[in-house]
Structure 1
Amino acid sequence: MQKLFKSKILKLISISILVVTLVISSAIAYTIRHSWPQESGKITLPGLQAQVEVQRDQLGIPHIYAQNTHDLFMAQGYIHAQDRFWQMDFWRHIGSGRLAEMFGQSQLNTDKFLRTLGWARVAQTEIQQMDTETRNILQAYADGINTYLADHQNSALSLEYAVLKLLNPNYKPEPWQLLHTLTWGKVMSYDLGDNLDTEIERSILLKTLTSQQVDQLIPPYPADHPVVVGHGGQGGHVGQRRQRGDLSSLSPPTPHTLSLAFGRGDGIGSNNWVISGQRTATGKPILANDPHLGVQMPSIWHEVGLHCLPKTAACPYDVAGFSFPGMAGVIIGHNDRISWGVTNLEADVMDLFIEKINPNNPNQYEVNGKWVDMELLTENIQVAGSQSVAQTVRYTRHGPIISDTFAPVKNFHQTAGINLPANYALALRWTALEPSTLASAIVKINLSQNWQEFRAGVRDFDVPAQNFVYADIDGNIGYQMPGKIPVRKSGDGRYPVPGWTDEFEWQEYIQFEKLPTVFNPESGYIVTANNAVIGKDYPYLISSEWDYGFRAQRIAEMIAAKKNSITVADVEKMQVDNKNLIAENIVPILLQIPFSNSRLEKVQHLLVGWDFQQNSDSTAGAIFAAFWKHLLADTFADQLPQGYLPTGSSRWFAVIRELVKQPNSNWWDNYKTPVVENRDQIFQQAFAEAVDELEGSLSKDTSRWHWGNLHTVTFRNQTLGKSGIAPIEALFNRGPFPSAGGSSIVNATGWNAAKDYTVVSLPSMRMIVDLANWDNSVAIQTTGQSGHAFHRHYDDMIQPWRQFKYHPMLWQPEKVASNAAKSLMLIP
């Protein structure tokens, strides 16, 4: 009887647990699913002027068909909000320095720094100066977002809000404003700009190194690597010229206060190139682009088609490609006549000014022998779960004082090797802290029908400064560099400069007509990969910090080797090429070095015959990467500050390429040992350490050594995916996945050799456009169209991206219709 009773009790408990589990599971499933967007049927949208159709393909890529401009961009805003509102909400809080409103005290220091920069104040000025057409488009876009918000709140917007509700129960998203779109450009400018970091690094290295040693670690751009444009910046082709000055592509660790906010990492950059019809199988150009950005979930890109039906003077848009959630229009793509691609210029548009501060008044600074009052602005920072915090931002004629809030320069006098006044502060002059015309540039580029109109549109793309490649259906190809590039009275922007005189002032910006450009070069192709744009004959300083051109060199090699009849399939292979040029340079040296240990000899022999392709399944690729990491550490760790150890970026490719030619250089010697080491000894040491590491982390069985086992990518939600709470991270993150490629490889999956092999930056999307047939164009991005965890389009592009597969970029209406998986009608 007792056993029967216990049996019934256990049965009841089991049933109860099952019921509770089912209820919880159902609740979770409901919470997850009820934020997913409606993709078919009909939705009434107040404010629409006419019916809009949205057709989505099997990957959830929408093509929007509207009868007027207002409805087209209102619908884009609505669709962006459907798919990515959490991402948009988060980015606008970065742009305005309001992260603590969402995430509380942990983001207060980040907000203080962002409020110091004052992007929102700059954006307000831009709104006042904006042309009517752009303002109307951005307002229609905002109206679309707000129409969606009117019917969706909290977890109905995204799963993240259900989690945030537990941490910050009072948070409610506010309506979208034009301001929020404009600050997006500022955030991207910060994400793409690293010459502030390099200025700081040079100064810190001078504390312990001579200026000659600093120049060796930050060497000139290689004379044998390509520049984009020759002949004084007007016309020319990829050639071999030396750029003056010291050049660097360093991306030091992001300050800890910004770790939540930004995806900056080693390897931020991009590839793009355009090949004219004289080299292609169709006789028409092919254009390729793959922007390299920090790893994130969801992707930074949202693929979309924006079409006026019919296309008229009143509704002139017919464009497809990649947009940013939060910004109207298409950033990279093509319309019915032209295509364009973008890479980061690496321009030097940030200068640190050392300001002399009045010892009797911290709000005064010296200008030409006189004390001048700073402009003081008070910021009120709302903090979730706590009281608001008042902050005073000090402004000089050069810009805000950042040494109050920017961690790397708070104790600059203790770390830097440059002369500083007894009472000083550091002010930042930066083009992104001045009004920009970026939004109008995107509108004009989307509308451009030829080279002249394209250049007129690109002229407004002032911040962040970029490299644009161009092609049109008439067979033309071109390159144009836009951007605000300062002309300094003196100095080269490499070190912080005195701010108390006029000696280092910015006098003007280089006139657009004098910026580098090329149209239909004789070579039949144009390549940009963050490498030097111009040679020594160009009269202005654009940068001392180019990428060192290894990717550009490899791309140019592949195009030149193919010669003629190049196809989209050929360009696909180029875009995912994994050849490691520094391995090609130093592995032959390593193979000549004797090892008395048979174990090491066997591993060394595995490098014989390697084609230097760092494929995911490559054993040699894993061996070389481990050797490279230890080689950099064994060579430089004894002389460099902890925060500035070699990352393995293209700069270190250039350093090592020269250093191996000097086998007895002092750099090889480890100052911490009594003996004087040379190159071969350090090679032996690094190789032995690499083998030990691989045996310890992978296996003693070398057949299990694969580069992808070390070099993995995990796509992390930028906010809750980095919470440190495993169950929450499991909801939003995907990975790790084995990855091919590496730093300064065309397939640029960057990793930081000072840390580990984890992918920190990557080709965030790949696009190849066929000017002979738009429907033959292909693309892929890293994660998927959706920002909703567990939605089928949240991660359905990860495997194709990893496996170097592409999907068609649909264009003709009949192609879009025949491939439509969902069709949604938006009704006035």
Structure 2
Amino acid sequence: MMRTLRASGAGLGVLILLAALALAAWFLSWSRFAPLPQRSGRLVLPGLHAAVSVRRDARGIPYVRAGSLHDVYEAQGYLEGQARLFQMDVLRRFVGGRLAEIFGKGALGVDIVHRDIGGAALAQAIYDRAAPPERLALDAYAQGVNAAIARGPLPPEFKVLLYRPAPWRPQDSILCGLATVIDLTHAWNQIALRQAIDVALGAQAAQALYPITDPAYDAPLLGRPAPVTAMPPLRAAGSARGGGDALRIALRLPRAAALEASNEWAVGGAQTRAGRALLANDPHLDYTVPMVWYALALRAPGLDAVGVSLPGTPGIILGHNAHIAWGATNGTVSTVTLYRERVGRDARGDPTYLDPQTRRWVPMGARVERIAVRAGRAVVFTRRSTRHGFIVVDGSGTPTPYAAAWVAERDPRSPLEPFLRLDRAATLEEALDILRRYPGPPQNFVLADDRGRVAYHLAGSIPDDGVWGTRAVDGSRVVDAWRGYVPFDALPHVAPSRTAIVFTANNRMYGAGYRYRLTDAFGPPYRAARIRALLHARGLVTVRAMERLQLDDYSAPELELVRDALAAVRRHPRAAGNVRDQRLLERWEGRFDGSSRAATLAFDLRVAAERDFAVAVLGPALGQAWLDDAGALALVPLLRALRERPRGWFADGDGDGLLLRALREAEAAAGAVPPAWGSAGATPLHHPLAKLGMTLFDPGVIPGWGDAYTVKVQTPVYGQSFRAVWEPGAWDRGGMTLPLGESGRPRSPHYRDLLQSWTAGALAPLTLDGPAAAASASSALLLVPAS
């Protein structure tokens, strides 16, 4: 999941003038001046009300025990500030639009986009409206981070980049929380691109290219599969004629990386061997260095929770407490309405728009933002808005005719507060009531309790605008497309039950007869179909079976594509390419395991076929933009077109020519001897400073195992960010594993120590009680108030 940390690296390349100083600082920092923070003994932490104990397990995961909620959150802020301060600083700068202050003009485009979104103003508005319990957590956490900054030592990245972090504010934690909101929001740029395809090729073609599901694999949690309209004949294939202004604007917008995915499922106690409920969750986010999550346990009066936090924010986001466990996957639903405004200028040259209510030209709202740029002049950016929302800017910061109405801006409520309350929920009913007030980004929540029950609910504010992100609304005619939010009780859900099996994998979760569309396109259903099939096929479920399912590396859709290509070879033997490679593919069983050479060919075949399909249908420029936007969704229309063979989608009518060409391209890409997938599909892990050639902080490589369509998701950019299996009531029988290490400090023994066990697929317990006191006495840390 995180586009945020991807983008932060973009500005590093502009620091050429500082490279010599930075390299000198690097070596000094690494060799002599990079001490580690105090991890044991007695340490004074100003602001505490009483002593707080911190014990760590063998993985360096801290177990915090405090006498009050204030103290437990202050201690959390201190520990995360010790371990992840540079990551946290980059994150708050990213959302607040302040990366260029550190990384120079190369980060200016990212800053303009986020000043346009208004992250800093939104964080302030949320803090101003926060209830006292959330303010307590935010304020205490900020105290802890500031104590870590003041006490030091600072992480070496600050020496390398020659700056000192500013004091941490409570609003900065909200900025860090908003990073996930931005990452998981249905992007306005994606709606604009679909609008351009709609104008160019027609609404039915746009719907086929942004499918709500693949009907051959549809796996709704609720009800029977709903019918899907057949792919339509295609007009003007390859030329995208008629796109006009909408096409030109869409191609100028920053490319919005496709949303990452996640898996989750839960099985009621009546369906498990132990008679207790089981829950599994593996969110799929960007492989960042350090990793996205920070694992810890928090205990204070009324709070006993363990799991992972997002560094920079208080509380446990995903995990369990003494009675319930919970997991989440992105709902992939629409939370943005895009308006196409009629724009003009007044006599002074200031921008105006046609107000749909008064039918008069009125001035746009304006807010001037000054963006500091390291080693350059400050840039003044004017954020424009209409009655509908903020004006979307293109990649150069130029305003477009589009305005975005966004749930987070229109109804600024904290995404953190529900998780702070969920950490303390005692029953599934209480947890579901908390989720009723969860603002978003909309998530599929699965829950399990120590009574053997499981439940599911889609939660978050989803505007009922009637378009669901399929097109832009005419802003000159529509005052407000929103007809309120979809009621919580009307969102897809499964009530607490001992017999239920619930699952989601970003797919369409509802079946025939459901009232609301919710989105233009859910994620592909392939992982959900596999999860459903294996859960229902294995009899009584166990923890070990859940673990194995999380590591499943079978890809049904790519096996289907390989078989289509081999069938095309049999129909056209004279056009056949490398016979040895084709024999490899004929023996392939759809597994992306590390030893498979056929998996490498299958991957290259899919990539080539998707690329050739996109160019054939949309032309080079729009085709590449669609591929960038669609991500894993791109395979769905390709497979459907090969099955249904609608007129106009293939030059030869049946797709054989495209498949044969893609097979030749795959053979060329794989080389004379295709490498095993363990190396070809490997994910290199790079610290952001690798952009300056500083690779000593790079922790290593995750060997290839799984791909974008297997339950065990792994791609060159993102994959499983943790794997957790919980058995409520027997917490020591499940556990959690993470891909890298707890610390963000390269010299820490816990910087990369989990990489080997992650690669092996091992799962380690993560319980409320934590390590035995005797075993962890040498690493115990006692935080005490100032006298």
TM-score (normalised: structure 2): 0.88
Whether 1:389 aligns to 2:374 is no
Contact persistence 2:277–2:448 (CA under 8 A): yes
How far apart, in 2, do the equivalents of 1:612 and 1:508 lie? Answer: 45
Post-superposition CA distance 1:486-526 (Å, at most 9, x none): 012x5343112211222652131122233222124586310
Q: 1:651, 1:466 → 2: CA distance?
A: 19
Structure 1 residue 535, shift from structure 2 partner: 2.8
> C-alpha separation between the residues in 2 aligned to 1:245 and 1:176?
54
Of 105-114 and 74-83, deviating more is: 105-114
- Which residue does 1:402 correspond to in 2? 392
User: Deviations along 1:184-206, whole A, 9 cap, x unmatched?
Assistant: 22221111224423312212324
Q: Which residue of 1 aligns with 2:237?
A: none
Shift of 1:477: 0.4
* 1:279-358 pair list within 5 angstroms: 279-308=271-300, 315-358=301-344
- Structure 2 contact 221–503 (Cα < 8 Å) conserved: no
Q: 1:524-673 residue pairs with structure 2 within 5 A?
A: 524-564=500-540, 566-592=541-567, 593-594=569-570, 595-596=573-574, 600-640=578-618, 641-642=620-621, 643-644=624-625, 646=627, 649-662=631-644, 665-669=647-651
Residue 587 of structure 1: CA displacement?
2.9
Aligned to 2:764: 807
1:508 aligns to what SS in structure 2? coil
Matches within 5 A, 1:342-381: 342-360=328-346, 361-368=349-356, 369-381=359-371
Distance 1:815 1:257 in 2: 54
Structure with bigger gyration radius: 1
Distance 1:25 1:198 in 2: 40
Cα pair 1:530 1:546 within 8 Å, conserved? yes
Residues 498 and 504 in structure 1, CA contact (< 8 A), matched pair in contact too: no
Deviation sequence 1:174-227 (CA, Å, 0-9, x none): 211111011122221111224423312212324643443333322342345455
Could you tell me which of 720, 726, 730 is aligned with 2:689? 720
Q: After the TM superposition, which residues 462-501 of structure 1 pair with which residues of structure 2 at under 5 Å, given as runs? A: 462-488=439-465, 490-501=466-477
Task: Give the C-alpha shift of residue 409 in structure 1.
Answer: 9.3
Q: Which of the numbers 209, 214, 236 marks the counterpart of 2:206?
A: 214
Q: Does the Cα contact within 8 Å between 1:96 and 1:183 map onto a contact in 2? A: yes
Using a 3 Å threshold, how does the CA distance of structure 1 residues 431 and 621 change in structure 2: closer, same or farther? same
Match of 1:112 in 2: 112
Do the aligned residues in 2 keep the contact of 1:267 with 1:292 (CA within 8 Å)?
A: no
Corresponding residue SS for 2:351: strand
RMSD: 2.8
Aligned-partner Cα distance in 2 for 1:441–1:329: 10
What CA deviation, in whole Å up to 9, does each residue of 1:516-575 have, x standing for no partner? 2212458631001111132342223321221121111111111011121x2211111100
Q: 1:73 to 1:276 in 2, by over 3 A?
A: same
Q: Does structure 1 conserve the Cα–Cα contact (< 8 Å) formed by 2:335 and 2:406?
A: yes
Deviates more, 1:781-790 or 1:533-542: 533-542
Unaligned runs of 5+ residues in structure 1 are: 1-22, 166-170, 232-238, 247-253, 309-314, 413-424, 670-675, 751-758
CA–CA distance in structure 1, aligned partners of residues 673 and 617 of structure 2: 35
1:197 to 174, 189, 202: 189
Alignment-mate amino acid for residue 655 of structure 1: P
Question: Which residue number corresponds to residue 822 of structure 1?
Answer: 779
C-alpha distance after superposition, 1:721-746 (max 9, x if no partner): 3x2x22x2x02223344311111221
Bigger mean CA offset, 817-826 vs 183-192: 817-826
State the shift of 1:340 in Å: 0.2
Distance across 1 between alignment mates of 2:522 and 2:728: 30
The within-5 A match list for 1:19-168 is 27-31=28-32, 33-34=34-35, 36-152=36-152, 156-165=153-162
Matched, 1:740 2:705: yes
Residue 661 (structure 1) shift:
2.0
Task: Summarize the Cα distance change of 1:818–1:256 in structure 2 as closer, same or farther, 3 Å threshold.
Answer: farther
**More divergent stretch after superposition (48-57 vs 686-695):** 686-695
SS state of the match for residue 585, structure 2?
A: coil
Q: Does 1:679 align with 2:669?
A: no
Residue type of the alignment partner of 1:501: R
Using the alignment, how far apart are the partners of 1:680 and 1:644 within structure 2? 25
Tell me the residue number matched to 1:766: 723
Residues 221 and 242, structure 1, Cα contact 8 Å, conserved in 2: no
Q: How does 1:160-179 map to 2 (within 5 A)?
A: 160-165=157-162, 171-179=163-171
Following the alignment from structure 1 to structure 2, what is the Cα–Cα distance between the partners of residues 356 and 64?
56
Alignment CA distance shift 1:76-1:28 (3 Å): closer
Secondary structure of the residue that 1:478 maps to in structure 2? strand
Query: Is the 8 Å Cα contact of residues 557 and 709 (structure 2) preserved in structure 1?
Result: no
Whole-Å Cα distance in 2 between the matches of residues 810 and 820 of structure 1? 18
Deviation at 1:809, TM superposition (A): 1.1
Aligned equivalents of 2:774, 2:155: Cα separation in 1: 29
Contact 2:52 2:782 in 1 (8 A): yes
Residue 250 of structure 1 corresponds to which residue in structure 2? Answer: none
CA contact (8 A) 1:94 1:114 kept: yes
Work out whether residues 96 and 115 of structure 1, in 8 Å CA contact, stay in contact via their aligned partners in 2.
yes
Deviation at residue 638 of structure 1 after TM alignment: 3.2
User: Partner letter of residue 687 of structure 1?
Assistant: L
Letter in 2 for 1:159: P
Counterpart residue type for residue 460 of structure 1: R
The number of equivalent residue pairs is 733
**2:707, 2:713 within 8 Å by CA — same for their partners in 1?**
yes
For each residue in 1:350-391, what CA deviation from the matched residue of structure 2 results, as whole angstroms up to 9, or x when unmatched? 122112223325333211311223322121222223343322
- Following superposition, the deviation at residue 772 of structure 1 comes to 3.7
**Structure 2 letter corresponding to 1:341:** G
SS at match of 1:630: helix
Cα gap change, 1:47/1:211 in structure 2, threshold over 3 Å: closer, same or farther? closer
Classify the secondary structure of the residue corresponding to 2:42.
Answer: strand
Corresponding residue of 2:239: none
Query: Matches of 1:278 and 1:162 in 2, distance apart?
Result: 57
Conserved 8 A contact 2:558-2:590: yes
TM-score (normalizing by structure 1): 0.83
Amino acid at match of 2:206: V
Q: In structure 2, give the amino acid aligned to 1:119.
A: G
Distance 1:748 1:620 in 2: 18
Aligned twin of 1:6: none
Structure 2 distance, partners of 1:255, 1:74, is: 46
- Measured in 2, the distance between the counterparts of 1:684 and 1:244 equals 28
Higher mean C-alpha deviation, range 522-531 or range 279-288: 522-531
Q: 1:327 to 1:684 in 2, by over 3 A?
A: same
Query: Cα offset for 1:135?
Result: 0.6
- 1:229 to partner: Cα distance: 4.7
* Structure 1 position 601, deviation (Å): 2.4
Give the stretch that moved more between structures: 124-133 or 591-600: 591-600
Task: Evaluate the alpha carbon distance shift between residue 136 and residue 464 of structure 1 in structure 2; reply closer, same or farther with a 3 A threshold.
Answer: same
The AA in structure 2 aligned to 1:579 is Y
Q: Distance in 2 between matches of 1:739 and 1:131?
A: 46
Q: Please state how far the C-alpha of 1:141 moved relative to its aligned partner.
A: 0.8
Secondary structure of 1:487 counterpart: coil
| Matching residue of 1:274 | 266
Partner amino acid, structure 2, of 1:547? G
Say if 1:491 and 1:504, in contact at 8 Å, map to a contact too.
Answer: no
- Displacement of 1:50 after TM fit? 1.1
- Unmatched 5+ stretches in structure 2: 1-23, 232-249
